[in-house]
Structure 1
Amino acid sequence: MNEKILNKASQLPEEPGVYIFKDQKGVVVYVGKAKKLKRRVLSYFRESTWAKNEKAKRIAEEAEDLDFIMVTSEREALLLEANLIFNGKPKYNVFLKDSRTYPYIYISADQYPYLGITRTKELEGSYFGPYTSAGLVRKLLEFLQKVFRIRTCSYDLSRVKKPCFLYHLKMCSAPCVEKVTPEEYREQLSALTDFLEGDTLKVREALLKRMTVLSEAMQFERAAEIRDILSSMDDLYAFQGVEASLDLKADILAVSTGLAALLQVRGGMLLGKLVFDFPDGTPIDFITQFYYAKGNRIPKALIVTGLKKKDIKQFKRDFQYIGDPRDEQEERLLSIAFKNIDEEQKIRLNAAHSLRQAHQILGLKRFPSRIEGIDISHTQGLYTVASVVVFDNGKPNKSEYRRYRISELDEPNDFEAIATVIKRRYTKHPLPDLLLIDGGEPQLRAVEKAFAEIGMDEYEVVGLAKEFNELVFLDSRDRVKLKEEHPVLRMIISIDNEAHRFAINYHRVLRERRFQTSRIDDIPGIGPKRKKALLRAFGSVKGIAEASEADLYGVLKNSKAVEAVVQWANEKSGD
């Protein structure tokens, strides 16, 4: 037993605070809180505690030093502990880990703040979220632009001389050229913030009222614009797929079997359906780490079971309500949260079983926790691209997917393309546990050659020879042929299909970009900048051809250029 720590512990006050155990290198191994510091820390060194708590025994055996921070209340101790755990992630503490990277809506701290989407919280400003789906966030952002007209560009506004096409599309109030006063912009931003915090009903009622006024004034075109905005709002509700009353602004938390699920409902809209790894965590641990340590916005209500009265008391000042469901609707939403945990567990159990089988059947040196799949795509050698998809513990990690454009080749050569992406990726990124290649022995030989050129030999690669659904190796292992329904083959084919889909999508984008660009190259007076502006404003060659003269002028700001586009569109329609 460490006498140094015992001496320190015996001198601790019987006051609230946080205690910190460190190992012989000074690394923090555990952070805890206590109402009475001395009593709590000394308990780690009693054999009666060790008999009931194996973790306490391991902490006492590993600890070589002790530090503490006194606070004035249990609440302060709770919040300080959460911050120290989140920032230091000590070895023996429970800490919240995202099962995937979720997107946020970001509002910058500029004089005229801009809106954006981000998956990190590095910049100064305000963050709303996290949200479950990037698709939902994009739809939400487009709606916010239409209603509140807050800018989405991050330009230095002092250098902007004229408004962009979003102003003409009525999706930005153009603070860059002072089309809106600072006071008006702040009001728009305040209303947008209220909407994101759940005051959706107020926005809807204001839009309906405005549409009615415009209709009565016989301004039918402007009224139709409001109708379209309301329609896009309805689309948002349909997209999120869970019914809730429009006045509900709450988070719904379920913690079970090493996972936490959180539903975020704002103004009747389910904006987040999040799942976190949380082994041995409690609802209190989640609340302190998610809302306080990570700085996520605190909702008006938090629906969660299993809290004691003293726990609820500690958080009363921040939440208008915290505790058990208050009605049938909240009970139903809590049930959905627990069902999300059940579904996540089923998926993980199936994936874990397939990975264990793959490890054994394929004779892999390491357990394939991380698998990366590579695929090549081109059209007769034009725009050769490669994709790399990443699967962690059997699940796609889309935030780590990467695309590579292979411009070094003069003619189609899949083997050289594979070798190129191998060298470009693995000179910068660590090797996965298993690398999956779409192809047989010739493709694997290209991989072998590429790794040799960059001086790597400790890698594990498997090829999928699709013609016979056989798994191929570089060494003396025999080919493995599995039945179509075998979980290992299904897993590998799904990874290969995902790599193929990701490569094809990128290739299609490049082809379409080339096709669209070439179609408008011959319009007189339309150079690269105007071409880019037209494609950004109208989305496609077809959109440009169908645009009205007023909309074209809003983008081009030049009557001769508009005439040239109109003439081109007329000739195109006569082809």
Structure 2
Amino acid sequence: METAGVRRIADDLPREPGVYQFLDGEAVLYIGKAVNLRDRVRSYADPRSDRVRRMVARAEDVDVAVTDTETQALLLEANLIKRHQPTYNVRLKDDKSYPLVQLTDHPFPRIEITRDPTKGATVYGPFTNKGEVETVVKALRETYGLRGCSEYKFRNRSRACIDADIGLCSAPCVDEIDEASYRDAVAGAKRFFEGETGALTDPLRRAMEGAAADQEFERAANLRDRLETVEAFHGTGGEAVRMADEASASIDVLGVAIEGDTATVARLHSDGGKLVDRTRHAVVAPETEDRVAAILAAFVPQYYAERTLPDTLLLPEDPHDDDLEAWLSTEGVSMRVPGAGREARLVDLALKNAHRYSGEADELSALADALGIDRPTRIEGFDVSHAQGKAVVGSDVTFVDGAPEKADYRRKKLADGNDDYARMAALVGWRAERAIDGRDDRPDPDLLLIDGGEGQLNAALDALAETDWDVPVVSLAKREELVVTPERTYDWPDDAPQLHLLQRVRDEAHRFAVQYHQTLRDDVSTVLEDVDGLGPSLTRRLLRRFGSVENVREASATELQSVPGIGVETAETIRSRL
């Protein structure tokens, strides 16, 4: 893009805060934030460095998004950098992002919290604490009856679901409300997000006062807590939440070590004067003059997406970012660059940690290089477990940035049978169909890992082909630890970092499958069924109380009698029988 082109685009931009993107076709080259979009974009007509000059020369267009405040621009910039991974930005290599609230483009719009808005949706945010945003969305649903179900469920409803029964939805799926009335309700929710706090606080306050008058004090207290959250939603700086408890004394300390075009950020977390956590993170290093400052300015807003901010942030250098400083100040975070004393020693310790691990093998990058795929930040592992074809179950575990993301674990009961390949195909097909139909609330993975060899891999590939779900897939066999792909088989060294990563995912998928299989087998057919005096109801109570037949076997007579319905004689019978 020529200098004149930059100026021409800038002339049409508003003098408002927001985020701008330099685009090369559909590829995003650079994302930045601005207090004044017109002035900020115009400054690129006179590039400040060779790197910026190269970026502008490659760009074909500039796209912008206007925000209400500088704080929202800061958070939206972090969201977009994580999603698009632009070539010319400093990028934290994880997949965390700030939650948004969207109202879908539908005759009866769905309200939901998301990190990846759908096309045509009306989107609000970003916000920094999903828990408090969930409180607000639930309050909006209770007040206005907005649906939260997927398109699949909405299209296939023949009767109202439980959300309608408990007052969360007005049931447009079964014509309990007409489109015009529902649109009026949606307009009320939009008014709230656009700043009219009373659109939600007024009905909440009336409900609270009504509950108190009816002496429903527990409900009144819950409504009071919800009202406080809602009233804080449009607080200073346009932010949606309040973060860490001001009474706590939590400190995060960051250290940065740069090696070539990559950097390591080490984070130490101190709580109540004690060092309680250490983490390290890979970052793409910029080509600017003050590289450490640029890394810190990019790392802080990207890292603290959906993480609780500390009371104090200690840094080795000043990031020189006014927007970042304003955001942290709004959130009540003290950012300091200590010169001496205990705080300075903590920064030195963080720097030592960063330098110690600088250049260390990054498992995810090593796996990407070895397989020739994009860096697989999100990996899902699959395994099948059964006992001679009975109580067949499948596990689907999720790892994000090499660590288990247990909230995203799923499990499924499968049809009985000894055909492991057919069961694996059914498991992967189930996951793929849910993804294609929009019935799975998790992001699509970057890689699927199958527990098994070539047979299991081919079964998974057949399932993916039937559903047209395009996700890379490999398998890892237990005995020889060979990694099998559709193209070839790898025999990596025992100390290969990419192999260690796949082994962790495979072992966790196996553990989760075996655990579920044991539970299901105990529930379906157990030796407890042969114990005189034990019917299905008492059997279920025992298994709920002790978790498995093995735990029932190890329980004392007194512990067994703690289960309602189990007397002295029955307890002794159980112990004798087992």
TM-score between the two structures when normalised by the length of structure 1: 0.54
User: Any residues of structure 2 matched to 1:143-222 within 5 Å, and which?
Assistant: 197=245, 199=247
Query: Is 1:330 equivalent to 2:343 in the alignment?
Result: yes
User: Any residues of structure 2 matched to 1:238-317 within 5 Å, and which?
Assistant: 248-257=249-258, 258-268=263-273, 273=278, 278-279=283-284, 280=286, 281-287=294-300, 294=305, 298-307=309-318
- Secondary structure of 1:375's counterpart equals strand
**CA distance 1:384–1:99, shift in 2 (3 Å):** same
- Cα distance in 1, alignment partners of residues 17 and 576 from structure 2: 80
Match of 1:387 in 2: 395
1:428, CA displacement in angstroms? Answer: 3.7
Match of 2:510 in 1: 500
Match of 1:408 in 2: 415
- Cα distance in 2, alignment partners of residues 119 and 80 from structure 1: 15
**CA distance 1:406–1:60, shift in 2 (3 Å):** same
- Show CA shifts across 1:263-286 (max 9, x none): 443434667655556534443444
**CA distance 1:325–1:534, shift in 2 (3 Å):** same
- Cα distance in 1, alignment partners of residues 462 and 37 from structure 2: 64
Write the letter of the residue equivalent to 2:571. Answer: A
Residue pair 1:198, 1:266 contacting (<8 A) in 2 also: no
Residue pair 1:82, 1:285 contacting (<8 A) in 2 also: no
Say what the alpha-carbon RMSD is for the aligned residues.
Answer: 5.8
**CA distance 1:497–1:345, shift in 2 (3 Å):** farther
Write the letter of the residue equivalent to 2:45. Answer: F
- Cα distance in 1, alignment partners of residues 346 and 531 from structure 2: 52
- Cα distance in 1, alignment partners of residues 558 and 398 from structure 2: 41
1:123, CA displacement in angstroms? Answer: 0.2
**CA distance 1:122–1:27, shift in 2 (3 Å):** farther
Residue pair 1:82, 1:289 contacting (<8 A) in 2 also: no
**CA distance 1:446–1:324, shift in 2 (3 Å):** closer
1:56, CA displacement in angstroms? Answer: 4.7
Match of 1:569 in 2: 571
Query: Is 1:375 equivalent to 2:386 in the alignment?
Result: no
How many residues are paired up?
Answer: 432
Query: Is 1:418 equivalent to 2:424 in the alignment?
Result: yes
Q: Which consecutive unaligned segments of at least 5 residues does structure 2 have?
A: 100-128, 138-164, 168-211, 229-241, 287-293, 437-443
Greater shift in the superposed pair: 52-61 or 338-347: 338-347
Match of 1:510 in 2: 520
**CA distance 1:96–1:522, shift in 2 (3 Å):** farther
- Show CA shifts across 1:535-561 (max 9, x none): 69xx96467954598xx5xx96xxxx5
- Cα distance in 2, alignment partners of residues 545 and 297 from structure 1: 46
1:350, CA displacement in angstroms? Answer: 5.3
- Cα distance in 1, alignment partners of residues 21 and 344 from structure 2: 41
- Cα distance in 1, alignment partners of residues 557 and 435 from structure 2: 45
Residue pair 1:520, 1:531 contacting (<8 A) in 2 also: no
Match of 2:94 in 1: 99
- Cα distance in 2, alignment partners of residues 383 and 545 from structure 1: 29
**CA distance 1:384–1:422, shift in 2 (3 Å):** same
- Cα distance in 1, alignment partners of residues 44 and 335 from structure 2: 32
Match of 1:81 in 2: 73
Larger radius of gyration between Structure 1 and Structure 2 = 1
**CA distance 1:567–1:502, shift in 2 (3 Å):** same
1:6, CA displacement in angstroms? Answer: 2.0
Write the letter of the residue equivalent to 1:380. Answer: Q
Match of 2:200 in 1: none
Match of 1:230 in 2: none
Residue pair 1:302, 1:322 contacting (<8 A) in 2 also: yes
Residue pair 2:254, 2:347 contacting (<8 A) in 1 also: yes
1:102, CA displacement in angstroms? Answer: 11
Write the letter of the residue equivalent to 1:254. Answer: G
- Cα distance in 2, alignment partners of residues 97 and 448 from structure 1: 32
**CA distance 1:63–1:92, shift in 2 (3 Å):** farther
1:82, CA displacement in angstroms? Answer: 0.4
User: Any residues of structure 2 matched to 1:514-525 within 5 Å, and which?
Assistant: 522-523=533-534
Residue pair 1:416, 1:446 contacting (<8 A) in 2 also: yes
**CA distance 1:465–1:92, shift in 2 (3 Å):** closer
Match of 1:43 in 2: 43
**CA distance 1:480–1:460, shift in 2 (3 Å):** same
**CA distance 1:43–1:338, shift in 2 (3 Å):** same
Match of 2:55 in 1: 58
- Cα distance in 2, alignment partners of residues 432 and 494 from structure 1: 16
